[in-house]
Chains A and B, each alone.
Chain A
């Protein structure tokens, strides 16, 4: 990857950009092209949109609900 930026760093940057652009959606991103293949308001609606589509080489993610508290 050019400029010393690794593929992983670029992936995280693209995921962060997608979450900032569409903070309420769960998304499936192609790991090769960084394209958002599908998005849905919930995992259920996302699952329906992805039904029958191959899911290898994809990653699913969602910006956390700001109302939810995570205890770490």
Chain B
């Protein structure tokens, strides 16, 4: 199955659904398709949105990640990323086309933005991904 998404803001950025494994609640968030990132991640400040506490001593595992900005602390939380079916999704009724098997995701302290990075750990589960430049931005085709 091939899913087609118009890139948000003319960039390789898509809206995804993130499920908190602790509360089973789902939230919408945008993620940049970042083939240069080994692991998918979110800004640490977004953890609260998913109902997580970066200071919780029991549910938290701290780790370190390295990126363009150097080393950073990261908080590992239990969330799962799902791709929306862009044709079947309706208002108040998201249609999930695919769910990542990865359930532990770092929330990086130094990542200072409002979107996550969807990295190769998730992308390597797909058959293919195509970025097609168009007049008004970019079309993203993901075959799962």
A62 / chain B contacts, CB cutoff of 8 Å:
113-115
A:1-56 near B, CB below 8 Å: 6-9, 11-12, 15-16, 19, 26, 31-33, 43-44, 46-47, 50, 55-56
A-B contact count (CB 8 A): 95
Q: Is the CB of A43 within 8 A of B27?
A: no
| B interface residue count range (under 10 / 10 to 19 / 20 to 34 / 35 or more) | 35 or more
Q: Is the CB of A6 within 8 A of B12?
A: no
Assess A71 versus B36: contact at CB under 8 Å? Given A7-B89, A43-B43, A59-B28: yes
B:25-52 near A, CB below 8 Å: 25-30, 32-36, 43, 45-46, 48-49
Assembly CA distance A33 to B92 (angstroms)? 9
B:79-102 near A, CB below 8 Å: 84, 86-87, 89-92, 94
Q: 1/0 contact trace for B108-140 toward A, CB 8 Å?
A: 000011110000000000000000000000000
Assembly CA distance A64 to B10 (angstroms)? 11
B106 interfacial contact with A, CB 8 Å: no
Q: Is the CB of B114 within 8 A of A7?
A: no
Q: Is the CB of B32 within 8 A of A70?
A: yes
Query: Can you list 5 pairs linking A and B with CB atoms under 8 Å apart?
Result: A16-B10, A31-B28, A59-B30, A61-B30, A62-B114
Q: Give B residues with C-beta under 8 Å from A.
A: 5-12, 15, 25-30, 32-36, 43, 45-46, 48-49, 68, 84, 86-87, 89-92, 94, 112-115
Task: Please give me the 9 A-B residue pairs with the lowest Cβ-Cβ distance, nearest first.
Answer: A59-B28, A62-B114, A8-B86, A43-B45, A26-B114, A32-B92, A32-B91, A61-B30, A12-B6
